[in-house]
Chain A
Amino acid sequence: MRHTGLKIRMAIVGTILFAFYSVAVAAAWFFFGQSQTILAIAIVGSVLLVGVQYKIGKWAALRSVGAEDMDEQRYSRIHQRVEALSRDMGIEKPTLKVARMGVPNAFAVGRKGNGTVVVSEELIQILDNQELDGVLAHELSHIANRDVVTMVIGQGIASVVGIVAQYIVLFTGDNDIADFFLAIVVGNLVQMFVMLFVLAISRYREYVADADAREAIGTGEPLARALEKISKGNERSQESRVDENVSALCIFGESTSLLSKLVSTHPPMEKRIQRLRS
């Protein structure tokens, strides 16, 4: 079994998320009439919410970066490599798009069989062919592992649990200002708490995608080099920004504390590089 430790951790966090969802649906059923209609509304509503978030999310992702179809002549090597890697991973070749994002970046949207990988022109410019292969393999792993769908479901659960908590507080009170305010506060706090677990899953899935990319191209070194190159460039640009905007950073700057790690979608870069090279 591949990535046993990670899969166990993901299973635990996934179970906790499912438990949150079950409790929310059960609570909705208990507090709002204990009928099958309420149960059906809660479940169908959740599925619809996730479906709409998925569809809108994909459309918005591509639109927000101005992604355009990747020309097969100009980027023939990328097309060939993605085709070969997709075959190795047992997935259909995703649609390839290119965008000017202002920073070196790449991301995958969609699901297995209907995925899209977007690569920024800046990333193509700074990485060599092998490093780019590592990045492409990582993004294809996200599609193969259904990570985008998983994260949308996670966010959907956080939304549903927050909404249910909010309405339970609202409908079991006296409808005065204190109840109304308490409902909003509880809804937000509960949703944020559930998001901590969703973000934990996001970080686990990055490690799994790294491991799958390493397996697909036979070595983790190119992806590790790519991450190193990007992170060094990022450090340099941050240093220059510190020189320019010291006061702004003093206001907005938040340290790399435990909280920062907990709210991050990605694991620390050093850890990923270390694992890829281990």
Chain B
Amino acid sequence: MVGVRELLAVGLGALLGVALLAKPRAMLLLSVFVGPTRRRRQGGEYGSDGDDPFGAWAPWFVRAAGLACLVVAGYIAYTELFAAAA
């Protein structure tokens, strides 16, 4: 029988993966690693966060993390949910 944790891992993992793929910049801005104090001085002009407080590579890094989330969620779905049911 499929457990709640497996379902949560697939559901939340897919949710996070899609969010990282669809809105990489917003997800990056929500990370503690690029918190408000850092963003105030990096890239942004006075009074704003600027249009690109990170390097051009950063959104792609986030997208790659999103893709990895979807792959792992898919793998868990396949092994724990579908394979178990079969």
Give the Cβ gap from A225 to chain B, nearest Cβ, in Å.
Answer: 12
Interface assignment of A152: CB less than 8 Å from any CB of chain B: yes
Q: Determine whether the beta carbon of B41 is less than 8 Å from that of A118.
A: yes
Give the Cβ gap from A254 to chain B, nearest Cβ, in Å.
Answer: 5
Type the 1/0 row for A220-244, where 1 means its CB is closer than 8 Å to any CB of B: 0000001100110110001000000
Q: How far is it, in angstroms, between the C-alpha of A248 and the C-alpha of B25 when the chains are bound? A: 14
Tell me which of A148, A181, A269 contacts B76 (CB under 8 A).
A181
Give the Cβ gap from A205 to chain B, nearest Cβ, in Å.
Answer: 9
Type the 1/0 row for A236-258, where 1 means its CB is closer than 8 Å to any CB of B: 00100000000010001010000
Interface assignment of A145: CB less than 8 Å from any CB of chain B: no
Q: Determine whether the beta carbon of A252 is less than 8 Å from that of B37.
A: no
Q: How far is it, in angstroms, between the C-alpha of A178 and the C-alpha of B52 when the chains are bound? A: 35
Q: Determine whether the beta carbon of B26 is less than 8 Å from that of A231.
A: no
Type the 1/0 row for A84-123, where 1 means its CB is closer than 8 Å to any CB of B: 0000000000000000010111110100000000100001
Q: A123-B46, A181-B9, A185-B13 are in contact. Are A107 and B41 (CB under 8 A)?
A: yes
Give the Cβ gap from B72 to chain A, nearest Cβ, in Å.
Answer: 5
- Which single residue of chain B is at the shortest CB-CB distance from A139? B46
Q: How far is it, in angstroms, between the C-alpha of A259 and the C-alpha of B44 when the chains are bound? A: 18
Q: Determine whether the beta carbon of A265 is less than 8 Å from that of B6.
A: no
Q: How far is it, in angstroms, between the C-alpha of A257 and the C-alpha of B34 when the chains are bound? A: 20
Write out the residue numbers on chain A whose beta carbons fall within 8 Å of the beta carbon of B15: 189
Q: How far is it, in angstroms, between the C-alpha of A195 and the C-alpha of B16 when the chains are bound? A: 16
Interface assignment of A192: CB less than 8 Å from any CB of chain B: yes
Please give the number of chain A residues whose Cβ is less than 8 angstroms from any Cβ of chain B in the complex: 59
User: Which residues of A, 182-227, contact B by the 8 Å Cβ criterion?
Assistant: 182, 185-186, 188-189, 191-192, 195-196, 198-199, 202, 226-227
- Which single residue of chain A is at the shortest CB-CB distance from B6? A178
Q: Is the interface of A mostly helix, strand, loop or mixed?
A: helix
Q: How far is it, in angstroms, between the C-alpha of A184 and the C-alpha of B83 when the chains are bound? A: 24
Tell me which of B27, B44, B59, B75 contacts A105 (CB under 8 A).
B44
Q: How far is it, in angstroms, between the C-alpha of A176 and the C-alpha of B51 when the chains are bound? A: 41
Q: Determine whether the beta carbon of A105 is less than 8 Å from that of B38.
A: no
Q: Determine whether the beta carbon of A265 is less than 8 Å from that of B50.
A: no
Q: Determine whether the beta carbon of A173 is less than 8 Å from that of B5.
A: yes
Tell me which of B5, B29, B38, B56 contacts A182 (CB under 8 A).
B5
Interface assignment of A155: CB less than 8 Å from any CB of chain B: yes
Interface assignment of A164: CB less than 8 Å from any CB of chain B: no
Interface assignment of A51: CB less than 8 Å from any CB of chain B: no
Tell me which of B3, B26, B42 contacts A260 (CB under 8 A).
B26
Q: Determine whether the beta carbon of B37 is less than 8 Å from that of A61.
A: yes
25 CB-based A-B contacts, threshold 8 Å? A60-B38, A123-B46, A155-B37, A158-B35, A174-B5, A177-B75, A178-B80, A182-B12, A182-B13, A189-B15, A191-B32, A192-B27, A195-B30, A195-B31, A199-B29, A199-B30, A202-B36, A234-B51, A252-B56, A252-B59, A254-B23, A264-B29, A265-B36, A266-B47, A266-B48
The 8 closest A-B pairs by CB, nearest first: A263-B29, A182-B9, A192-B30, A265-B36, A155-B35, A178-B9, A202-B36, A107-B41
